[in-house]
Amino acid sequence: MRYKSQSVAYWYFAVAMALFGLQLVFGLLSAAKYLGPDPLLYILPFDVTKMIHTNLLIVWVLTGFMGATYWMVPDESRTELYSVKLAIWQLVLWTAMGLATIFGYFFRYGTGNKLLEQPLPSKIIIVVVMLMFLYNIFMTIKRSGRFTTTEGVLIGGLGLAAVLYLPALLHYENYVISIFYRWWTIHLWVEGVWEMIQGGFLAYLLIRLSGADREVMEKWLYVIVGLVFIAGIIGTAHHYYWVGVPHYWLPIGGVFSALEPVALVGMAVYAYSAIRRSGLQHPNVLALHWTVGSAVFTLFGAGLLGLAHTFPSVNKWTHGTMITAMHGHAAFYGAYAMIVLAMITYALPSLTSGRREQGSPVGYWAFWMQLGGMFGMTLSFGTAGIAQVYLERILGLGYLDTQLKIQIHFVMLIATATVFTIGVGLFIFDFFRYPPRFAVSAEPELKPRGVADA
């Protein structure tokens, strides 16, 4: 850590960790309800546990994004943050809003609009927090005068994410039109501007971890961003097929959304070649695992499993089944959970005292158990989904009867989710094991690859 103000990231990461743990509690509760019967039917029904599960996901990932940005911008712009105090107040307001919103959900105080359930007061606070955040970053960069492409892509993604949240504040009498604009937020986030954010972190980490040449990395970063938007913007159509839009969205959406994985292949090749090409290696090999892991798992979860059901002729059968949940989990985890965990793992040795730079055995167990667990969850959702499509949609068995016949996959889901949760538990344990440290320290040196670590 070269700048003292970077240490504010620690608190963001700590909040993100706590909320990540809580997210899984509600995921496991929701999965248990698939098996049923539900003793909590009138206390904590499925709609509430599921809503809390997905909202906590969004809140902790955004907390991680903000923390990681506060860590990265001083490094890139070579300056202290504009205001640590503002960053702290921003976190306090954000966390209080998050917890109050979740608390309200227990009483069903929400909009009933999928993934955008936040009631109006929460939405307004979200916008205020975003503005505080962007102002702080903007002033930091303005003061230093140094603005790199890597951070430009990151900030561009964050700024556009804030802008794209605005359609969520509007209300339409026509349900079809409200769905239409809901996707401007959700889809253009995860398959547009959030991929810019991921790309920015990825470039930063690869440059730091492999010593790859910045000019080359930033040139290709632009290509990736271009590919993301060329396919991703019109790719929104893969959510429009069956909601009441004109027919031309089907063929056009099929073609453009099928091109979305091109950018993700680009990202994986980008990570792989950065490491191959450069002869250098950073001692934090665990962070490298998370970084490359994120690029590869995104290609699998978002690219491959997204492509699997993005053509209208396939989506017609799989739309709104366990297949969707399969893809949602693998994609979100690979792209956004893992990139945040990569940034945390990279920053942690200098944010805490007593930690070895190269990562601990617990850290590796956390990595592999999460990966294995999430892969198993993907298979469980996937097999449940295939069975569901055949039984319910092709053979015409009733929904409820179908769900009864695929229970074994839900047992598998809970078993693999348990492995995953232990992996996350280990990560959280490893995070809090060492006390935070708020002093500037020397950066570790890159060494030629193959030379044993000290």
Partner 1 sequence: MNKRQTRLFAIGGSVLAALLFLGMTLDSHRQFPKLTNAQNISPEVTLGNKVWHANNCINCHTLFGEGAYYAPDLTKITQLRGEAYLRAYLHDPAKFYDEQKVRRLMPKQDLSDADITGLIAFLDWVSKVDNQGWPPRPLLVSGSSLPGMAMTAAQQGSTTGTAATGPADTRPTTSGDNPIAQGESLFHSASPPCAACHSIAPGVNMAGPSLAGISALAEKALASGTYKGEAKNAKEFIHESIVHPSAYLEPGDMYSAAGTSFMPDTYATSLTPEQVDQLVDYLSTLK
Dihedral sign from CA coordinates of 292, 293, 295, 296: positive
Q: Pick from 331, 347, 384, 391 the residue near ligand HEM by CB under 6 A.
A: 331
What is the rounded distance in angstroms from the CA atom of residue 139 to the CA atom of residue 127? 18
Instruction: Select the binding partner of residue 421 from partner 1, ligand HEM, Fe ion, none (C-beta < 5 to 8 A, by kind).
Output: ligand HEM
User: Which of the residues 314 through 353 are near partner 1 (CB under 8 A)?
Assistant: 316-317, 319-322, 324-325
Closest CA to 136 of 192, 199, 200, 91: 91
User: Which of the residues 257 through 286 are near ligand HEM (CB under 6 A)?
Assistant: 257, 260-261
What is the rounded distance in angstroms from the CA atom of residue 215 to the CA atom of residue 318? 43
Closest CA to 205 of 141, 259, 151, 277: 151
Q: Pick from 218, 272, 308, 422 the residue near partner 1 by CB under 8 A.
A: 218
User: Which of the residues 401 through 430 are near ligand HEM (CB under 6 A)?
Assistant: 417, 420-421
- The site that binds ligand HEM (CB under 6 A) totals a number of residues, namely 40
Give the CA angle between residues 269, 57, 96 to the nearest 5°: 135
Site map (CB under 8 A) of partner 1, residues 231-270, x = contact = xxxx-x--x-xxxxxxxxxx-x---x--------------
Instruction: Select the binding partner of residue 148 from ligand HEM, Fe ion, partner 1, none (C-beta < 5 to 8 A, by kind).
Output: none
Q: Is 407 near partner 1 (CB under 8 A)?
A: yes
Instruction: Select the binding partner of residue 10 from partner 1, ligand HEM, Fe ion, none (C-beta < 5 to 8 A, by kind).
Output: none
Q: Is 143 near ligand HEM (CB under 6 A)?
A: no
429: Cα within 13 Å, side-chain hemisphere? 14
As to burial, measured by CB atoms within 10 angstroms (0-12 exposed, 13-18 middle, 19+ buried), residue 439 is exposed
User: Helix axis angle, 149-165 relative to 214-235, nearest 10°?
Assistant: 20
- Residue 325 makes CB contacts below 8 A (sequence gap 6+) with 381, 385
- Decide whether 90 or 403 has the Cβ nearer to partner 1: 403
* Contact footprint for Fe ion (CB under 5 A): 187, 191
- Decide whether 11 or 333 has the Cβ nearer to ligand HEM: 333
Residue 197 CB, nearest distance to ligand HEM (Å)? 11
Q: Is 117 near partner 1 (CB under 8 A)?
A: yes
* Token pair in block for residue 185: 């937020």
Phi-psi domain of 441 (left: phi exceeds 0; alpha: psi -120 through 50; beta: other): beta
**Quick count: other Cβ atoms within 10 Å of Cβ 399?**
11
Site map (CB under 6 A) of ligand HEM, residues 42-61, x = contact = --------x--xx--x----
Give the CA angle between residues 46, 50, 51 to the nearest 5°: 115
Q: Is 303 near ligand HEM (CB under 6 A)?
A: yes
Q: Is 107 near partner 1 (CB under 8 A)?
A: no
| Choices 31-39, 300-308, 359-367, 428-436; region in contact with partner 1 by CB under 8 A | 31-39
What is the rounded distance in angstroms from the CA atom of residue 330 to the CA atom of residue 318? 17
Residue 341 CB, nearest distance to Fe ion (Å)? 23
* Token pair in block for residue 336: 């956004």
Q: What is the CA radius of gyration of the chain?
A: 22
What is the rounded distance in angstroms from the CA atom of residue 205 to the CA atom of residue 203? 6
User: Which of the residues 73 through 112 are near ligand HEM (CB under 6 A)?
Assistant: none
Q: Pick from 123, 238, 289, 409 the residue near ligand HEM by CB under 6 A.
A: 238
Q: Is 220 near ligand HEM (CB under 6 A)?
A: no
- Residue 47 makes CB contacts below 8 A (sequence gap 6+) with 108
Instruction: Select the binding partner of residue 429 from partner 1, ligand HEM, Fe ion, none (C-beta < 5 to 8 A, by kind).
Output: none
Instruction: Select the binding partner of residue 136 from partner 1, ligand HEM, Fe ion, none (C-beta < 5 to 8 A, by kind).
Output: none
**Quick count: other Cβ atoms within 10 Å of Cβ 127?**
15
Point out which residues bind ligand HEM (CB under 6 A): 24, 27-28, 30-31, 50, 53-54, 57, 114, 190-191, 238-239, 257, 260-261, 298, 302-303, 306-307, 309-310, 315, 319-320, 324-325, 327-329, 331-333, 335, 337, 417, 420-421
